[in-house]
Amino acid sequence: MELMIYLIVLSLALGGTGLALFLWALRSGQYEDLDGAASRILFDDPVQPAAVTTDTRRTRA
Amino acid sequence: MNQAAVRTDGVCAHCGLPVPEGGRFCCPGCAAACETIERLGLGRYYEQRLLDPAARPPRPESGEMGDVARFVTTDAAGRYSLLLAVDGLQCGACVWLIEQVLAQAPLREGRVNMTTRRLRLVWDGPLDVAMDASARVEALGYRLVPFDVARLAARSDATGRGLMRALAVAGFAAGNVMLLSIGIWIGAGQNMGPGTRDLLHWVSAVIALPAIAYAGQPFFASAFQALRRGHTNMDVPISIGVVLVSAMSLAETIRHGPHTYFDSAVSLVFFLLIGRVLDHRARAQARATAEQLLALQAGAVTVIRPDGMTAVMAAGSVVPGWMVLVGRGERIGVDGVVTQGTGLLDTSLVTGESVPQPSEPGSVVYAGMINLGDAITVRATGTGAGTLLADCVRMIEAAEARRSRYVVLADRMARLYAPVVHGAALLTFGCWMLLAGAGLAESLLAACAVLIITCPCALALAVPAVQMIATGRLLKAGILLKSATALERLAEVDTVVFDKTGTLALPTLAMIETDSVVPADLRLAASLAVTSRHPLARALVAASGPVPVAQGVVEVPGQGLILATPEGEVRLGSRAFAKAAWAGSTDGPELWLSRPGGVPVRFRFGEQLRRDAFAVLRGLEGLRLDLCILSGDREEAVARVAGEVLLPWQGGCTPVEKVRRIEALRDSGRHVLMVGDGINDGPSQASAHVSMSPATAADLSQTVADVVFQGQALAPVLTVLGLARLTRRLMRQNIALAIGYNAVMVPLAMAGLVTPWLAAAAMSASSLLVIANSFRARGEGQGAWS
């Protein structure tokens, strides 16, 4: 029976972590744009100004 | 450069609009946008995007945002932020493109929300940073309009987030308590010691009670409000059930009883919250889209400052007394009096008249009129008493005050349901106490079991589940349900009253008598007109189809277009401008084309019925609805349209007369749907049972309307009415299912045969059944009216 007490506490702690993470995600606005999130993964990492320099180099060559 | 990826088959490589004769771009703006995109190494945009035919094509247009400063908000850290509505967003690739371009501006954040189609800019330093960034986005072909954050953010966000938080807490508690409960139920058959069982009950109580106290708040608050006003709604039996069940379970836990119902109470709250969250989300999105449409419609106005300089600013920031310049083809942004210039005004959005009205100094004009003539100067007067707009606003307020609060189906059910259920619980208690001679605790337990079983889980889901699915389906079809009760009211409609101008007919002018025009003349005229944004020029281009753009066209503001050719000048514009000697009368807007050595050609413009109007009206008659036209336009014009679509009509109606007609219909027991788009329709829309507006309607009409529909077709009226009836049928089926479930389970509960696991299983099963039935609103009857 002692085992059960540990298990209950453990399961609640795990569930509670999940709940806390969800509330954090909600607070940080991650549920504001579900459509956008769905399509964002289709695009790669940002093309930073580095890409612009590559581009100019290519034009020069 | 990756040119192979860019399509050139007859459409502009950037915006996708038709381009004749193998050109790559339709205009210099598109060419520049494409050049920018490829220079930044973002050419992949063209490969990945999917042009949405319903969205505005991404063709760059010149235009200014006006006075943006008043929309900027400052946060605690001293950063500035600005919310902009984005017009022309096609798909995920657009979001990517805009964010990539903004990544190269000195912004702290530039992020597009695709759900609400809004762009959020956060930056430090001067406003120019944001203006520069937004100019880059506009150069790509998107249109940006600043949003009033303070007005929007306060409302929807707080409720939505509160519901989501409650849902998370309830879900967490429901899962854990249910796990513990399953342990107890299984343990009961395997000689689990009473000590262990009590421990598990206590753990359940510790999880469930705070969770219910927190997550149940939306229901408790609503029930409390209803009771305080002397009403009852569905939240009253829900709240009473949840509170009593929790209290009884706690009491059982304290006195080491064998049964507790914490799992049922928490699951109930969880299930109901799912319904609430989805319902709220669907409607919040519909409302956000409607607000977006309105914001995009509000144009900037050109103000003439006392020193003679002009400044472009938002219409809302114009102070009465200022002078506003309205160019040819522009929409008047403020109410006022004409001080200079004679012109021709398209007043259809205000009075419903389809034939443009002449204006001269001293004429009173209203926001929403379009200046078809030469440039005029307007002195802004604001919405002073005695103007048409002020009258309409007052009439709308009066109509809304007269309209009694609509009691939704669920609440009508609750009024019957609550007394019956609570009566049954009381009866059970009495029978057990007096007839069976059971003890107080045992009798209370039996009564509580009745309350648990009857706790209206399925019944409370019966309506919102269907509504949520229907709202989502309509949203996809470009139909925005703004009011929560609109679907139920639409299902009751038996009479549909249409406005004519802008509703049965398209809101924009179209070329008429096309048969009498020589195609070559039309093509020549269109090649000039392509370069202009004047409404008549646009209608001309629409009539001719894609044509090559004439190079070197000069626009003479307020008069017309000139193209210099080796043979002489080609002119397109007003009669005087084209130097046409025509003695006939002018009975409507017209454009003249003159060219060297030819007789001037006249193009006439008038209103055009929505293409599917006839079929839709017949379809509505098929639903056994009475239809009629109430228009503010002149009798001849109304009679002509009414004859075309075979409807009874009344023309020349003032806003007051329209309201009287609607009220007369209502007093004779009719439920009227009013479809209109003008300021003059606002009051009658407010007094009708339910109302609709096209997205091109005047602000006032859209604000009043319960439903706003987008697009060129009239079909949404039929879609909405058809779906509303299907929705009502499904709601009734759901309620029948819920009542059937109660009829079976309540006798068992009264006999004391319901154990906690049976209660949990029955409640979940009935809820799932109701939700499954609601999903039929998704696809059923697709062919019948879409």
What distance in Å separates residue B113's CA from the closest CA in chain A?
6
Please say if the pLDDT value at position B151 is more than 60: no
pLDDT value of residue A53:
40
Chain segment B198-229, per-residue pLDDT in tens: 989 999 999 999 999 999 999 999 899 988 98
- pLDDT value at position B244? 86
Give residue B69's pLDDT: 72
Taking alpha carbons only, the member of B116, B171, B155, B99 closest to residue A32 is: B116
Please name the member of A1, A26, A35 whose beta carbon is closest to the beta carbon of B114.
A35
Q: How far is CA B179 from CA B20, B197, B616, in A?
A: 68, 13, 54
Question: How far apart (Å, rounded) are the C-alpha atoms in residues B301 and B291?
Answer: 20
Interface touch B115/A34, C-beta < 8 Å: yes
Residue whose C-alpha is closest to residue B675's, from B503, B482, B505? B503
Q: Hey, which residues of B are catalytic here? A: 499
In this predicted structure, which of B272-281, B309-318, B554-563, B568-577 has the lowest mean pLDDT? B309-318
Test A11 with B203 for CB contact under 8 angstroms: no
Lowest mean pLDDT among B74-83, B355-364, B573-582: B573-582
Burial class (CB in 10 A: 0-12, 13-18, 19+), B151: exposed
Chain B residues close to A1, C-beta within 8 Å: 196
SS in 3 state form for B256-320? CCCCCCHHHHHHHHHHHHHHHHHHHHHHHHHHHHHHHHHHHHCCEEEEECCCCCEEEEEHHHCCC
Q: Which of B91, B95, B200, B273 has the most A C-beta neighbours within 10 Å, making it the best mutation to test the interface with A?
A: B95
Determine the average pLDDT of the residues in B422-427: 88
Would the CA dihedral through B643, B644, B648, B651 be positive or negative? negative
How much is the pLDDT for A19?
A: 92
The token duo for B586 is 């002018």
Asked if B48 lies within 8 A of A39 by C-beta distance, the reply is no
* In the predicted structure, residue B420 carries a pLDDT above the cut 90: no
Which letter, b or e, does each residue of B509-541 get, where b requires 16 or more Cβ atoms within 10 Å of its Cβ?
Answer: bbbbeeeebeeebbebbbbbbbbbebbbbbbbb
| C-alpha dihedral, B408 to B739 to B230 to B405, nearest 10° | 10
Give the Cα separation of A52 and A50 in Å (integer): 5
Q: Do A39 and B203 touch (CB under 8 A)?
A: no
Most B-contacting residue of A32, A48, A52, A54 (CB-CB within 10 A), to test interface: A32
Confidence of residue A59 (pLDDT cuts 50, 70, 90): very low
What is the predicted pLDDT for the residue at B7? 45
* pLDDT single digits (tens) B51-63: 777 677 787 776 5
> Which uninterrupted H or E stretch holds B121?
strand B118-123
Angle at Cα B66 formed by Cα B53 and Cα B70, nearest 5°?
A: 110
SS3 readout for B509-559: CEEECHHHCCHHHHHHHHHHHCCCCCHHHHHHHHHHCCCCCCCCEEEECCC
For residue B566, the surrounding DSSP H or E stretch is none
CA distance linking residue B610 with residue B361, whole number of Å = 35
Cα dihedral sign for B48, B52, B58, B63? negative
Q: Please state whether B177 falls in left (phi above 0), alpha (psi between -120 and 50) or beta.
A: alpha
Would you call B626 exposed, middle or buried from its count of C-beta atoms within 10 A (0-12, 13-18, 19+)?
middle
Neighboring chain B residues of A22 at a CB cutoff of 8 Å: 168
pLDDT band at B9 (very low <50, low <70, confident <90, very high): low
More confident residue, B689 or A58: B689
Report chain B's mean pLDDT, rounded to a whole number: 82
| Cβ neighbour number for residue B476 with a 10 Å cutoff | 7
What is the rounded average pLDDT of the residues B509-530? 82
User: B486 pLDDT exceeds 80?
Assistant: yes
Structure pTM? 0.77
Residue A17 has pLDDT above 90, yes or no: yes
User: Up-side HSE of residue B458: CA atoms within 13 Å toward CB?
Assistant: 28
CA angle B126, B130, B132 (to 5 degrees): 105
Tell me which of B300-314, B345-359, B527-541 is least confident: B300-314
- Burial of B352 from C-beta contacts in 10 A (0-12 / 13-18 / 19+): buried
Closest by Cα among B145, B475, B167, B202 to B316: B145
Nearest to B113 among A8, A18, A32 (CB): A32
Alpha helical stretches, state H, B123-216: 127-139, 149-188, 194-215
Chain B residues with a Cβ under 8 Å from any Cβ in chain A: 39-42, 48, 91-93, 95-96, 99-100, 103-104, 112-116, 161, 164-165, 168-169, 172, 175-176, 179-180, 196, 199, 203, 207
Q: Kindly state the tokens that stand for B475.
A: 């949203």
Mean pLDDT is highest, among B295-299, B360-364, B450-454, for B360-364
Q: Which residue is closest to A44 within chain B, CA to CA?
A: B96
The packing angle between helices B127-139 and B28-39, to 10°, is 110
Residues 33-52 of A with CB under 8 A from B: 33-36, 38-40, 42-43, 46-49, 51-52
Mutate which: A33, A34, A48, vs B, most B CBs within 10 A: A33
Q: pLDDT tens, B585-594? A: 666 778 888 8
Read off the tokens for B636.
């001849």
Give the span between the Cα atoms of B144 and B295, in whole angstroms.
10
pLDDT the model gives residue B4? 41
CA nearest to B163 within chain A = A26
Please say whether the dihedral angle defined by the alpha carbons of residues B251, B255, B257 and B262, taken in this order, is positive or negative.
positive
A-to-B residue pairs, Cβ atoms closer than 8 angstroms: 76
Mean pLDDT of B296-300: 67
Residues B11-23, mean pLDDT to the nearest whole number:
74
pLDDT bracket for residue B152 (50, 70, 90): low
Query: Cβ contacts (< 8 Å) between B161 and chain A: which residues?
Result: 26
As a whole-number percent, the residues of chain B with pLDDT over 90 amount to: 16
Q: In the prediction, which pLDDT does B1 show?
A: 40
Residues of A in contact with B168 (CB under 8 A): 19, 22-23, 26
Min Cα–Cα distance to chain A from B77, Å: 17
Q: What would the two tokens of residue B684 be?
A: 């009658």
pLDDT at B126 over 70: yes
Residue type for position B267: S
Maximum mean pLDDT: which of B72-81, B252-261, B558-567, B717-726: B717-726
- Dihedral sign from CA coordinates of B255, B258, B263, B269: negative
Q: Report the largest interatomic distance among the alpha carbons of chain B, rounded to a whole angstrom.
A: 113
The answer to whether the beta carbons of residues B658 and B630 sit under 8 Å apart is: yes
- Cβ atoms of B258 and B197 closer than 8 Å: yes
**Cα–Cα distance for residue pair B786/B767, rounded to 1 Å:** 30
Q: Does residue A21 belong to the interface with chain B, where contact is any CB pair within 8 Å?
A: no
- Going by pLDDT thresholds of 50, 70 and 90, the confidence category of residue B109 is confident
What does the pLDDT average to over B744-771?
84
Is residue A52's pLDDT more than 70? no
pLDDT score of A47: 52
Residue holding tokens 């960034």? Answer: B133
For residue B190, CA distances in Å to B187, B380, B753 come to 5, 84, 21
Task: State residue B453 phi and psi, 5-degree precision.
Answer: -65, -35
From the CA of B224, how many Å to the nearest CA of chain A?
A: 27
Rounded Cα gap, residues B199 and B83, in angstroms: 53
Find the CB nearest B115 among A16, A26, A36.
A36
Does the pLDDT of residue B786 top 80, yes or no? no
Is A47 close to B42, i.e. CB distance below 8 A?
yes
Mean pLDDT of B533-551: 79
Contacts of A15 in chain B (CB under 8 A): 172, 175-176
User: Measured between beta carbons, which residues in chain B are less than 8 angstroms from residue A38?
Assistant: 92
pLDDT in tens, B668-707: 999 999 999 888 888 899 999 999 999 888 878 888 899 9
- pLDDT above 50: residue A60: no
SS3 sequence, B196-256?
Answer: HHHHHHHHHHHHHHHHHHHHCHHHHHHHHHHHHCCCCCCHHHHHHHHHHHHHHHHHHHHCC
Helix, strand, or coil (residue B409): helix
Q: Report CB contact under 8 Å: A15, B95.
A: no
Q: Is B694 helix (H, G, I), strand (E, B) or coil?
A: strand
How distant, in Å, are the alpha carbons of B313, B356, B682 from that of B377?
16, 18, 27
Q: Measured between alpha carbons, how far is B531 from B549 in angstroms, rounded to an integer?
A: 7
CB nearest to A54's CB, from B41, B91, B172? B41
pLDDT value, residue B494: 93
Structure tokens at B678: 């003008």
What is the distance between the alpha carbons of residues B48 and B654, in angstroms, rounded to a whole number?
A: 52
* Residue among A33, A43, A52 whose CB faces B96 most closely: A43
The nearest CA of chain A is from the CA of B40 a distance in Å of 5
pLDDT band per the 50, 70, 90 thresholds, residue A50 = very low
Sign of the dihedral through C-alpha B666, B671, B675, B678: positive
pLDDT at B561: 87
Structural element, H or E, at residue B430: helix B409-430
Give per-residue pLDDT as tens, B264-288.
889 889 988 988 888 888 778 787 7
Torsions phi, psi of B708, nearest 5?
Answer: -120, 130
Q: Nearest-CA residue of chain A relative to B206? A: A12
Question: For the segment B637-663, what is each residue's pLDDT rounded down to a tens digit?
Answer: 888 889 888 899 998 888 888 999 999
Q: What is the pLDDT of residue A51?
A: 40
Tell me which chain B residue has its CA closest to the CA of residue A54: B41
- Does the distance separating the beta carbons of A11 and B100 come in below 8 Å? no
Distance CA B691, CA B597 (A): 54
Q: Which of B100, B184, B204 should one mutate to test binding to chain A, selecting the residue with the greatest count of A CBs within 10 A? A: B100
A23 and chain B in contact, CB less than 8 A = yes
How do residues B594-608 score in pLDDT, each as one tens digit?
A: 888 778 888 888 888
Rounded-to-10 torsion of CA B174, B178, B179, B181: 140
β-bridge mates for residue B674, sequence order: B497, B691
- Which pLDDT value is given to residue B690? 93
pLDDT at B22 over 70: no
CB atoms A55 and B179 under 8 Å: no
Alpha-carbon distance B550 to B728, whole Å?
56
Contacts of B207 in chain A (CB under 8 A): 12
